[in-house]
Amino acid sequence: MTTSIATAVSAEIIIKKSRFIAHIHPVSGRAEALALVDAYWQQHPEARHVCWALLAGGESGMNDDGEPSGTAAKPIMNVLQHKHLDGVLGVVVRYFGGIKLGAGGLTRAYTDAIATALLGAEYISNIAQAQLEIALPFSEEGRIRRFVAQHDGVVLGVHYSNIEAFLQLQLAQDQSAPLLQEIKNLCSGQLRLTSS
């Protein structure tokens, strides 16, 4: 299981007169991440570099933005991976202070900046979710709603026909089959899975 962060976090460190401003955001994918990187460029037009690393399932990536290869984005990525994060973007904005840090100094600076930002992060579990719709007798709706809530599920929506209620549910992926069987047992078998 991977984790993410609940909300965006930031931190700033200064090393040999260079400012390193780190931001970490929960993101859903590459498009959202690139929009955030662009926004940081607009907020910091005088910055020398805006380096980033993205962990978002199959849409991961990184960019050193002109820093020597492997000295900026890779350290950011390493810190995020070390924390087993997914669905996150790490960005470090650098204002050059006039003193060159060398490859080792840059690597340490970017690592320290992103790690410092993570100190303020609240971590959350990324649990795969399954969405499905069930049809059941009207008389069972209240009991099934309570059961779903007790098992950390969510009723996303409900609609009715002349003869039954339809509940759209969101359940933990790894628990959806056993929970569905329990729901069926609670309804004495009077349950239909209409979509999954």
Domain CATH number, residue 53: 3.30.230.30
pLDDT per residue as tens digits for the range 131-159? 889 899 998 889 999 998 898 888 888 99
pLDDT per residue as tens digits for the range 34-60? 999 999 999 999 999 999 999 987 789
Q: Using 70 as the pLDDT threshold, list the residues of the chain that sit under it.
A: 1, 196
Secondary structure in 3-state letters for 159-173: EECCCCEEEEEEEEH
Task: Count CA within 13 A, CB hemisphere, residue 27.
Answer: 25
Domain of residue 172 covers: 128-195
What CATH number is given to the structural domain containing 168?
3.30.70.240
